[in-house]
Amino acid sequence: MKNRIKVLRAERDWTQAKLAQELEVSRQTVNAIETGKYDPSLPLAFKIARLFGQRIEEIFVGGEGG
C-alpha cells in the first residue's frame, strides 16, 4: 500500500526514529511502512492519521490490486 508518511514526516523534520517513538513502534516498522513492505494494522493507521492530523484516506492509497 502506498502512503505519504515519508513526506509528512519530512515536513515536520522528523527522523524515522522520532516518528517511531511517537507511534510506540520500532524504527524498522516505520521504515517498512514507508517503503510499502508492511501495511499497518487499522489501530496503528488511525494513530498515524491522528498524529499527522489527517484522515487515513489522505495518508494511505491502495496500490494496484489493493
Range of the structural domain that residue 20 is part of: 2-57
pTM of structure: 0.89
Please report whether residue 34 resides in a domain: yes
Please count the structural domains in the chain. 1
Q: Is residue 25 part of a domain?
A: yes
Length of the chain measured in residues: 66
User: Does residue 8 sit within a domain?
Assistant: yes
- CATH assignment of the domain containing 37: 1.10.260.40
Whether residue 64 lies inside any domain: the answer is no
In this predicted model, what pLDDT tens digit does every residue of 23-60 receive, in sequence order?
999 999 999 999 999 999 999 999 999 999 999 999 99
Alpha carbon separation from 46 to 43, 55, 64, 65 (Å, rounded) = 5, 8, 22, 22
35 falls within a domain? yes
How would residue 64 be classed by pLDDT, with cut points 50, 70 and 90?
low
Residues in CB range of 26: below 8 A, 6 or more apart: 20
Query: Is 62 inside a domain boundary?
Result: no
Residue 62 CA from chain centroid, whole number: 13
